[in-house]
Amino acid sequence: MAAPAESRKRIESLRDEIRYHNHRYHTLDDIEIPDAEYDRLMRELQDLEREYPELVTPDSPTQRVGGEPSDALQTVEHRLPMLSLDNVFSEDELHEFHRRVAEKLEFEDGAQDLQYAAEPKLDGAAISLLYQDGVLVRAATRGDGTTGEDITHNARTIESIPLRLLGDGYPNMLEVRGEVFMPLAGFEAYNKKARAGGEKTFVNPRNAAAGSLRQLDPKLTAERPLDMYVYSVGLVEGGELPGRHSEIIEQLRSWGLKTCPERRVVTGVEGCLGYYESIGKKRGELGYDIDGVVYKVDSLAMQRELGFVARAPRWAVAHKFPAQEELTVVVGVEFQVGRTGALTPVARLEPVFVGGVTVSNATLHNIDELHRKDVRIGDTVIVRRAGDVIPEVVSVVKRRRPKKTRRVHLPERCPVCDSHVTREEGEAVARCTGGLYCKAQRAEALKHFVSRRAMDIEGLGAKLIEQFVEEDRIKNPAEIYELTNEELAERERMGEKSAENLINSIEASKSTSLARFLFALGIREVGEATAQSLAAYFGNLPAITRASVDDLVKVPDVGPVVARRIRDFFDEEHNLDVIRQLQDLGVHWQDTDPMQVAEDGPFTGKTFVITGTLPGMTRDEAKALIQKEGGKVTGSVSKKTSYLLAGEKAGSKLSKAQQLEVEILDLDALLALLQH
Ligand code: 9MJ
């Protein structure tokens, strides 16, 4: 029966698609789809070709295994082919593999005692290193297994590849094989730098390793943080190696070649599974990517007996971890508000099985990342879930972008509390301005509100606050003042005595100062010192809540950014509400006279820095005094500093002032200046 037109069409389109991805992978070093997806395309094509053998053509991607050498590098023939490994994805498949091994070796008892050398399956780029009389004479990529590329110039730049073997006893001709990989720390650092410099980043460490090895200019390879472990031997002439795989690897190690420290010899399938599990647990701490483990029959005599099928040995198998990267579709993007008000875009996904679990949300980190990756609703994306790390959107498969997608914009208002969202110039993070009012930020804001230097409510600890917020019992700080003794005493783990203590301490906090109260409100950038300056300058709260940005910047120590924050805070009606409620519930303080800042006082136009311990005056008092006379007080000494007011135990600021030849005053000298 002739193949249906539909299947013919599908075969053609699969071939086109696979060729396209082959080119991206092997030539451009710029992959677009995860391995799992590539494997699926290949498998679908293989299945169709098996069904309709008359449609197999010699140029079908199924007829060629592995990479196409690029034109730019010299090709190398591997005298012994570089093998690939068969995969198993489950316990059952592993049992099946073991059963075949036992059968071929004619074990009668099920081969429970058969020893396997077990090692992590490194996710990098395979390399062949040829040592002649102990000297590295050639390095090559795997290529398609038969023909690779000469990358000797690049291999020489990798520190863990010895240019000469140590010790003696090595064969005259020794080909070792292993994996070049980029450790995760190096990968992250490299990408961070590339991003900052506007250069191309690597999608994953494997691609980074493969791309780095195939550079034409070894200087570029040398800049990449690469490492290598050896895991097998190829050609051996003029010498003998031990009779077990595990012993050979030890031998290679003694000659100065780097080997993976996680290697073990295990017994039977049980041993293999135990190893799989223990490496799976350690995976996140290894510092390099692995995509499974490899079991190799340890005895070389048995390996020889088992031989090969096609391009893979019968004596080894890779037991793969579930794929960490998968494709899925973005069905929406929502913004989550963190405890500090930071807005994080989160992609809602069509559920996909990745990294061993079903994932339906993935982080986009921040709005800049979202735009950099150009993620739109409707896009097909690569999702990555590595270990226990939260799943993330890695990239968009632009080729699969439908005609109609929706772009994502930063919301103007907080999705939790509807307050305005702000974003500072040059900052990646956008924030909700809701503060206390925003449920997402409530617990943090309340902890700050009750803290010792703010309202100083003892006994209202972090745990209790979190419970109250969780239960919606406290929605704003005013509600703290509505807690009753009975209600508290009924709570678990809270005795009558501590309930009473807490009530007393809430009561005591009602009598406070304007500075403490302002600080307690948790306005961004308004720390204790700024709160004090504001309180001293304006003397009362209504004056502050009404002050324009222009008024606010007149306050010593308040710059335009801080002024803007203060204005934004008091522009939110709900913030004023909470303040009113607090005052209605009895929170009060003593107003003071607004500061009379001398327009042309003795210190007008002068900038002071205060350091050390002053005799009989706190630094805050000295600061108020200077400000009252028209001076400005800043935190660090610079060329613009007019005077350093130095008390006892003055440290680095004093030496800085001396170095910059800034005039140094003690308290008496300062007071003397005011006499004139
Ligand atoms: C990796 N990728 O870590 C082999 N491999 O052995 C290990 N690869 C291998 N062994 C024979 N550990 C062919 C490939």
472-531 tens-digit pLDDT: 899 889 999 999 988 888 886 778 888 899 999 999 999 999 999 999 999 988 999 899
Three-state DSSP state, 592: coil
Choose the final residue of a domain: 21, 36, 68. Answer: 68
Give the type of residue at 232.
S
Specify if 362 maps to a domain. Answer: yes
Choose the final residue of a domain: 271, 291, 320. Answer: 320
Specify if 347 maps to a domain. Answer: yes
**114-123 residues labelled b (16+ CB within 10 A) or e (exposed):** bbbbbbbbbb
pLDDT at 664: 94
Ligand 1 neighbourhood includes 141 CB (under 6 angstroms): no
Specify if 132 maps to a domain. Answer: yes
Choose the final residue of a domain: 305, 320, 335. Answer: 320
Mutate to test the pocket of ligand 1, among 80, 82, 86, 121 (most ligand atoms within 8 A of CB): 121
What does the mean pLDDT of the chain come to? 91
Ligand 1 neighbourhood includes 209 CB (under 6 angstroms): no
Q: Are residues 314 and 339 in the same domain?
A: no
Q: For residue 117, what is the domain's CATH number? A: 3.30.470.30
pLDDT at 632: 82
pLDDT at 71: 60
pLDDT at 64: 66
Nearest atom in ligand 1 to the alpha carbon of residue 119 is 12
Give the type of residue at 284.
G
164 Rama class: left (phi>0) / alpha (psi -120 to 50) / beta: beta
- 31 confidence band (pLDDT: 50, 70, 90): confident
Which has the minimum average pLDDT: 106-110, 185-189, 391-395? 106-110
CB–CB of 123/206 below 8 Å?
yes
Ligand 1 neighbourhood includes 320 CB (under 6 angstroms): no
Which has the minimum average pLDDT: 389-393, 401-405, 582-586? 389-393
Q: Are residues 628 and 647 in the same domain?
A: yes
Mutate to test the pocket of ligand 1, among 78, 141, 231, 289 (most ligand atoms within 8 A of CB): 231
Specify if 258 maps to a domain. Answer: yes
Ligand 1 neighbourhood includes 295 CB (under 6 angstroms): no
The closest alpha carbon to 474, from 505, 444, 518, belongs to 444
Specify if 21 maps to a domain. Answer: yes
Nearest CA to ligand 1 atom 4: 231
Ligand 1 neighbourhood includes 78 CB (under 6 angstroms): no
Phi, psi at 63, each rounded to 5°:
-85, 0
What the block records as the tokens of 307 is 């031989």
Q: Is 426 exposed, middle or buried (0-12, 13-18, 19+ CB in 10 A)?
A: exposed
User: Is-catalytic flag, 121?
Assistant: yes
Give residue 394 CA to ligand 1 midpoint distance, Å. Answer: 27
Q: Are residues 96 and 245 in the same domain?
A: yes
Q: Are residues 102 and 38 in the same domain?
A: no
pLDDT at 338: 87
Annotated catalytic residue, options 104, 121, 404, 554: 121
Give residue 85 CA to ligand 1 midpoint distance, Å. Answer: 7
Specify if 486 maps to a domain. Answer: yes
Nearest atom in ligand 1 to the alpha carbon of residue 82 is 13
Q: Are residues 43 and 111 in the same domain?
A: no
Give residue 294 CA to ligand 1 midpoint distance, Å. Answer: 7
Neighbours of 601 (CB within 10 A): 17
Q: Are residues 143 and 44 in the same domain?
A: no
Cα(595)–Cα(532) distance, integer angstroms: 12
Specify if 314 maps to a domain. Answer: yes
CB–CB of 350/328 below 8 Å?
yes
Give CB contacts under 8 A, 24+ apart, made by 440-443.
440/336, 440/337, 440/338, 440/339, 440/341, 440/414, 440/416, 441/337, 441/338, 441/339, 441/340, 441/341, 442/469, 442/474, 442/475, 442/476, 443/339, 443/469
CB–CB of 118/293 below 8 Å?
yes
- 70 confidence band (pLDDT: 50, 70, 90): low
Q: Are residues 259 and 352 in the same domain?
A: no
Question: In total, how many domains does the chain have?
Answer: 5
Q: Are residues 109 and 217 in the same domain?
A: yes
- 66 confidence band (pLDDT: 50, 70, 90): very low
Q: Are residues 299 and 361 in the same domain?
A: no
Q: For residue 483, what is the domain's CATH number? A: 1.10.150.20
Nearest CA to ligand 1 atom 10: 231
Q: Read off the pLDDT of each residue in 284-290 and give the average, rounded to a whole number.
A: 92
The H or E element spanning position 664 is strand 663-665
The length of the chain, given as a count of residues: 676
Three-state DSSP state, 342: strand
Domain assignment of residue 191, given as a range: 87-320
Q: For residue 627, what is the domain's CATH number? A: 3.40.50.10190
Ligand 1 neighbourhood includes 291 CB (under 6 angstroms): no
pLDDT at 426: 79
Ligand 1 neighbourhood includes 83 CB (under 6 angstroms): yes
Three-state DSSP state, 311: coil
Ligand 1 neighbourhood includes 215 CB (under 6 angstroms): no
Neighbours of 651 (CB within 10 A): 10
Nearest atom in ligand 1 to the alpha carbon of residue 123 is 2
Q: Read off the pLDDT of each residue in 11-23 and give the average, rounded to a whole number.
A: 92
Q: For residue 39, what is the domain's CATH number? A: 1.10.287.610
Nearest atom in ligand 1 to the alpha carbon of residue 126 is 2
Give residue 45 CA to ligand 1 midpoint distance, Å. Answer: 26
Q: For residue 363, what is the domain's CATH number? A: 2.40.50.140
pLDDT above 90: residue 599 = no
Q: Are residues 308 and 377 in the same domain?
A: no
Ligand 1 neighbourhood includes 179 CB (under 6 angstroms): yes
Cα(563)–Cα(140) distance, integer angstroms: 63
Specify if 428 maps to a domain. Answer: no
Q: Are residues 564 and 664 in the same domain?
A: no
434-471 tens-digit pLDDT: 887 888 899 889 999 999 999 999 999 888 998 999 89
Nearest CA to ligand 1 atom 12: 121
Give CA torsion, residues 48, 54, 60, 62, to 10 deg.
50
Three-state DSSP state, 209: helix
Cα(222)–Cα(432) distance, integer angstroms: 45
Ligand 1 neighbourhood includes 534 CB (under 6 angstroms): no
106 Rama class: left (phi>0) / alpha (psi -120 to 50) / beta: left
205-243 tens-digit pLDDT: 998 999 899 888 888 889 899 999 999 999 999 999 999
- 300 confidence band (pLDDT: 50, 70, 90): very high
The H or E element spanning position 651 is none
- 310 confidence band (pLDDT: 50, 70, 90): confident
Give CA torsion, residues 640, 644, 645, 648, to 10 deg.
150
Q: Are residues 49 and 91 in the same domain?
A: no
What the block records as the tokens of 461 is 């600890």
Ligand 1 neighbourhood includes 122 CB (under 6 angstroms): yes
